[in-house]
Amino acid sequence: MFNLILFGPPGSGKGTQSEKLVEKYGLVHLSTGNLLREEITNKTPLGLEAKAFIDKGQLVPDEVVIGMVDSFFEHHKEAKGFLFDGFPRTSAQAEALDKLLELKKTSICVMLALSVSEEELVKRLMKRGETSGRSDDTNENVIRARITEYHNKTAVVADYYRNFDKVVLVKGEGTVDDIFRSLCAEIDCRI
Ligand code: ADP
């Protein structure tokens, strides 16, 4: 299996690049943000619980997210590899993911980390909010809260994988195609 984490702050382009990467490499896309939004749309108990956190720009509790990922794996037993987008977002999630992959006798091959300046992030998220219908993209305070959560809880996830020498930084500014080409180059020499 080839398992990849696409990492970076909110607005760094993970969703856009993930769509292109899963198509090119035939990976299964696991976006916890998308899974949570689906739960919200379907008004499930999990969705209702998650919405309260998401609307404030806070992370959803680890046990909720980890349970959701576990059940996603149950439904994708034939996958030849996963692209993790927006997960893991805390050290506890990273440890849980390692354990789940170990059960499948596999592991993370590489973490590709997109770097984008903070002003560019806010600009992109506000712009996305005009059309995405995502309530967490329309309020600048919520956007800033998400970036703060990223610095406080998520940035350490890169340190976790750096210990295993699995992190590669990729410039996340430029055209979508340029960034895609940089990501593909890093994958092609590892796959
Ligand atoms: P973005 O990276 O642009 O903020 P996502 O779609 O990945 O967007 O996530 C939207 C929101 O969903 C996050 O702000 C957070 O509240 C919640 N979320 C998504 N993934 C996780 C996760 N792995 N752990 C905790 N909360 C999450």
What are the 10-residue block averages of pLDDT along the chain, 191 residues in total? 97 97 98 97 97 97 98 96 98 98 96 96 94 92 96 98 98 98 98 91
Residue 152 has a pLDDT of 98
Q: For residue 9, which atom of ligand 1 is closest to its CA?
A: 2
What local confidence, expressed as pLDDT, does residue 174 receive?
Answer: 96
Q: Tell me, what's the pLDDT at 112?
A: 98
Report the nearest-CA residue for atom 2 of ligand 1: 10
Which residue among 20, 56, 123, 128 is the active-site one?
128
Q: Is the CB of 47 under 6 A from ligand 1?
A: no
Residue 151's pLDDT is 97
Per the annotation, the verdict on 124 as an active-site residue is no
Q: Own/partner pairs for 143-149, CB < 8 Å, 24+ apart?
A: 143/10, 143/11, 143/57, 144/57, 145/56, 145/57, 145/58, 146/10, 146/57, 147/9, 147/10, 147/118, 147/121, 147/122, 148/57, 149/57, 149/58, 149/59
pLDDT at 122: 93
**Cα of 46 to ligand 1 centre, how many Å?**
14
